[in-house]
Chains A and B, each alone.
Chain A
Amino acid sequence: MRYGMVIDLKKCVTCYACMIACKQEHFLPPGMFWNRLLVTETGEYPRVRKVTYPVLCNHCKEAVCVDVCPTGASKRREDGIVVIDAEACVGCQYCVVACPYQQRTYYGDDKKEYFPGQGKTETELIGLKMYPLETGTVVKCNFCKERIDTGVRQGMKPGMDREATPACVITCMVKARHFGDLDDPESNVSVLVRERNGRPLRPELGTEPSVYYIE
C-alpha cells in the first residue's frame, strides 16, 4: 500500500482551487500553503506558454525528512503517507532544510490574523479548535490523512470515494489530480503513470516521490 497522486499538467488551468481547498481543509494560517502552484513561462515571444506546477509534499518512499528527524517525529506510515507527530517535534527545522522539494513549513507564530489588527475571524477561531497546529513545530501536507483514515474505516476507497480522497483532488474542477494506491498495478494512478509516462520531481535524488506528473 502506497498512496500517491498523479497530476495532469495539461489539464491544470491554474485556478488555484486546490490551494484554497487545502487551506480550508486544514484551516491554515495566513502565509502558509501545504499545496502551492508554481507558475512559470517557457518559450520566447511570441511563442510563450504558461506552465503550472502544482507542488505538495511528495510523500517520498525514501523520505530524507524522516531520516534526518532527530526525534522520530517525522515518520512514514504503512500506507506511505509521511506524517509529523506534533507531540514529538522539537522544532529544530532540520527537516525543512533537508527536504529537496521545500515542502515543509515551520509554524512559529499563531498570532497571525487574516485581517491584522481586527482579531481572528470566526473561521480562524473554529480552525484553532478543529485543526489545532502546534506552534514551534514543523507542518506539511499529510494527504488529508483524516479524510483517508475516516473513509477507510467506513469501507471507502481513497481516490474513488469522494469522502476518502484529499481535498485538493476532489476540488479540482478539471480532474487534473488523481489519487490512489501506487502499489496496486490496476489502480487509477498506476495506470496513468504507466500509460502516460508519469515522472516525479527530481528522480535522480533517489527519494522515490509518490507524486507524479503527466503531460
Chain B
Amino acid sequence: MKPYDWMVTYTPQTDWIKGGGAIVWLSFFTGLFGSGAYLASLYFDSLTGMIVSWLIVAVLKGGLHVGHAKRPLRLWRMVLKVRTSWIARGTVFTALFALFGAVQIILSHEAAATPGEIVFKVLTAIFALPSWSTRASPSTMFRAFPSGTPRCSRPP
C-alpha cells in the first residue's frame, strides 16, 4: 500500500457533533422553513405569516446557532470572513434578513403600499431565499437526503 492509496474515500467524522446534532439540524430546519414561510406569506400578503416566519428565522434559527457556538460572545467576528466562509456569509445574510424583515413588517403595519414597504419587501425576500447556506444549497439539500449527510465542499 502506498501513502496515496490510503484515505482514498471520504471519511466523515461523527464525534465532532457530540450530541449537538439536534441543535444544528433544528437551526437549519427552522432557517429553511422560516424563510420559505416568509416568502409564502409575502406571496399571500399575510402580515401575520410574515411576523411568525420572521420570528422563526430571527429568534429560533438565530438562537439555535448561538446556542451551538461554544463561545457566542465572539460571534461578531463572523462578519470578518465573508470572503471564504459560508458560515460567515450565512450569518450576515440571516442578520440582514432579520434587519430588513423587521423594517418591512413595521412598514407593512404602519405604511402599507408605500414605495418604502415595497423596497424592503424585495430586500427581505432576497435574503429570505435559502440559497445562502452553500454555493448550491437546494441541490445540496436534495443530495443530502439519500445519504443523510450533506457533503462539506471546498468553498470557491
Q: In the bound complex, what is the Cα–Cα distance between A157 and B68 (angstroms)?
A: 42
Supposing A88-B77, A97-B13, A97-B16 touch, asked if A199 and B4 sit within 8 A by C-beta, the answer is: yes
* Identity of the chain A residue whose Cβ is nearest the Cβ of B66 in the assembled complex: A90
Size of the B side of the interface (Cβ < 8 Å), in residues, is 34
B155→A137 contact, CB < 8 A: no
Instruction: Answer yes or no: B80 CB below 8 A from chain A CBs.
Output: yes
Supposing A91-B69, A106-B18 touch, asked if A70 and B3 sit within 8 A by C-beta, the answer is: no
Which label, helix, strand, loop or mixed, suits the secondary structure of the B interface?
loop
Binds A, one of B38-46, B50-58, B81-89: B81-89
* Identity of the chain B residue whose Cβ is nearest the Cβ of A71 in the assembled complex: B77
Q: In the bound complex, what is the Cα–Cα distance between A100 and B12 (angstroms)?
A: 8
Q: In the bound complex, what is the Cα–Cα distance between A70 and B68 (angstroms)?
A: 14
> B71 to chain A: which residues have CB within 8 Å?
89-91, 136-137
B136 CB to nearest A CB, Å: 16
Interface size classification for chain A: 35 or more
Supposing A53-B3, A106-B16, A199-B4 touch, asked if A89 and B74 sit within 8 A by C-beta, the answer is: yes
Which label, helix, strand, loop or mixed, suits the secondary structure of the A interface?
loop
Give the residue among B7, B71, B86, B87 with the most A Cβ atoms within 10 A. Answer: B71
> A89 to chain B: which residues have CB within 8 Å?
71, 74
Q: In the bound complex, what is the Cα–Cα distance between A94 and B78 (angstroms)?
A: 13
A202→B4 contact, CB < 8 A: yes
Q: In the bound complex, what is the Cα–Cα distance between A183 and B1 (angstroms)?
A: 28
> B16 to chain A: which residues have CB within 8 Å?
93, 96-97, 106
Binds B, one of A20-28, A61-69, A163-171: A61-69
Identify A90's interface contact among B11, B18, B74, CB under 8 A.
Answer: B74
Q: In the bound complex, what is the Cα–Cα distance between A99 and B125 (angstroms)?
A: 34
Instruction: Answer yes or no: A128 CB below 8 A from chain B CBs.
Output: no
Instruction: Answer yes or no: B6 CB below 8 A from chain A CBs.
Output: yes
* Identity of the chain A residue whose Cβ is nearest the Cβ of B149 in the assembled complex: A97
Q: In the bound complex, what is the Cα–Cα distance between A136 and B72 (angstroms)?
A: 10
Q: In the bound complex, what is the Cα–Cα distance between A97 and B15 (angstroms)?
A: 10
A108→B68 contact, CB < 8 A: no
> B155 to chain A: which residues have CB within 8 Å?
67-68
> B68 to chain A: which residues have CB within 8 Å?
92
A10 CB to nearest B CB, Å: 12
A123 CB to nearest B CB, Å: 26
- 14 sampled A-B residue pairs with Cβ under 8 A: A40-B6, A68-B85, A68-B86, A69-B81, A70-B77, A70-B81, A71-B75, A71-B80, A90-B70, A90-B71, A90-B78, A92-B87, A137-B71, A201-B4
3 smallest beta-carbon distances between A and B, as pairs: A91-B70, A136-B70, A71-B77
